[in-house]
Amino acid sequence: MIMDEQKLYEAVAEIRPIAEEGYQRAKARLDSLTKPLGSLGRLEELAQKLSAILKKEKPVLKNKAVFILAADHGVTQEGVSAYPSEVTPQMVINFLNGGAAINVLAAHAGARVVVADFGVAFDFPEMVGLVNCKIRKGTDNFSRTQAMNRIEAVQSIVKGMELVQAEYAKGLDLIGTGDMGIGNTASSSAIAAVYTGKSPAEVTGQGTGIAPDVLAKKVMVIERALSLHKPDPLDPIGTLAQIGGLEIGGIAGVILGGARLGVPVFLDGFISGAGALLAQALCPESVSYMVSSHRSAEPGHDAMLKKLELSPLLDLKMRLGEGTGAALGFTLADAACKIINEMATFAQAKVSGKRRLEGVPS
């Protein structure tokens, strides 16, 4: 186990750039298939990326997992959410019973669901399928004091990395990030403001569906928190400790753990975006292993994606979380891999390739 911050940075330093030859090999294969060059657009880009990360000319996605990390947030004391904190453990149990949207969409994508308690303010009995990563029972109210201490912030990232390592031993070709935590859009909005340079008003949305007056209060709470803590974007662990969430730190760890092991990471929406910004700050190279599954309806998500320089595969106006967007992204990953794996080449199909016309640039 990584025991301290220094060892965490040493582990993160093991993340390596993706070899360019992997992209070129996949592109050569795609260009040889019976279609005009680049005519399958983003599917071809995705196929190239998966092939390069997995170091396989014909990647096969047998083992997919969506990681749902759950934790509570002390900032809910400020009345910034439409739902009470009791919903967090209730939804965790719903995940374990297979009754949530992510269960349906993960099954559709052929993915397993990994549910982990990183900081739910509830004592779960021993339950089949629930991974105990609990650091503490929720964060403190970050608009009044730090959300957690620095050691706890490090622990949340480390436990995310360890969670991925444990699943990797069972077989892991694709990772999806997911979350559950009432109040976590407030923390994510605060992190978004720090890393995108946007104001809280520009990156804060309705979350679970709050009324306009509650949204105004939510923005004010975040402004107060940023004024109180003055987070330094060059210190992602300090920023996480001041204004973050235990599951958000865990998501950063899942991303970093996937990148370290050479596994593509499909980001869900806004909360996953906050974890991704922290992962980027800890290790810029980790972004090359990320795929943005969709653009969330949360207003701050677009700014997050621009900071990460990622283009979303889908835009379905979703804002549920849980990893639902990541599961849908998996279905596009399957399609991309089937294209590169199963289409015939021009030579195999005995189809004439593109002609080069005299006097016309190729």
Catalytic residues: 322
How far, in Å, are 134, 236, 263, 265, 270 from residue 283 at the CA level? 25, 10, 16, 14, 20
DSSP string for residues in 242-280: HH--HHHHHHHHHHHHHHHHT--EEE-SHHHHHHHHHHH
CA–CA distance, 168 with 218 (Å, rounded to integer): 39
Q: Give SS3 for 236.
A: helix
- Residues forming a β-bridge with 116: 69, 131
d(CA 208, CA 127): 27
The region, left, alpha or beta by phi > 0 then psi within -120 to 50, assigned to residue 139 is: beta
* Neighbouring C-alpha atoms within 13 Å toward the C-beta of 328: 19
Tokens standing for 85? Answer: 């904190």
